[in-house]
């Protein structure tokens, strides 16, 4: 698999389209941190890590509002062949403040609001709204 983060987003998208309550993705630290950011910003209900050593998985409990998924869109920007970097002045609001952008900074993954507050730029991973 070339892009495991894009695979995670596709699994979330497909599970929401099918109305599934839970989706499992193979574990990696960056995917777990992205899932925790989505949980903290109330795009998903709950994030759990399960398994040991090689068989680790992340269980993401999806959130719905009257059978409509809370996440209406996810767009991945940085790809393995083309990374997108932003200085803190170039970081914009997503969907008028209703969405978030996830940015990889030297201090770890954070949302666009946190990155602007700390005046840090970095690699633009994705936007979620």
Q: What are phi and psi of 47, to 5 degrees?
A: -125, 125
- The pTM of this model reads 0.95
pLDDT in tens, 46-100: 999 999 988 999 999 999 999 999 999 999 999 999 999 999 999 999 999 999 9
36 shares a domain with 86 = no
8 three-class SS: helix
Based on the structure, what is the number of domains in the chain? Answer: 2
Instruction: Sort residue 37 into left (φ over 0), alpha (ψ -120 to 50) or beta.
Output: alpha
Both structure tokens of 7: 């695979």
Split at pLDDT 50, 70, 90, the class of 114 is very high
Of the candidates 25, 110, 14, the residue with the CA atom closest to the CA atom of residue 71:
14
Length of the chain: 129
CATH number, domain with residue 117: 3.30.1490.10
């Amino acid at each position: 698999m070339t892009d495991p983060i894009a695979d995670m987003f596709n699994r979330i998208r497909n599970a929401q389209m099918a109305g599934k309550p839970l989706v499992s993705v193979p574990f990696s630290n960056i995917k777990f941190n992205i899932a925790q950011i989505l949980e903290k910003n109330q795009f998903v209900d709950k994030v759990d890590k399960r398994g040991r050593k090689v068989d680790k998985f992340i269980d993401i409990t999806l959130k719905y509002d009257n059978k409509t998924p809370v996440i209406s869109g996810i767009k991945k920007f940085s790809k393995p062949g083309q990374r997108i970097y932003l200085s803190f002045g170039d970081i914009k609001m997503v969907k008028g403040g209703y969405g978030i952008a996830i940015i990889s900074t030297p201090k770890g993954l954070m949302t666009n609001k946190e990155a602007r507050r700390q005046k840090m730029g970095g690699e633009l991973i994705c936007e979620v709204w």
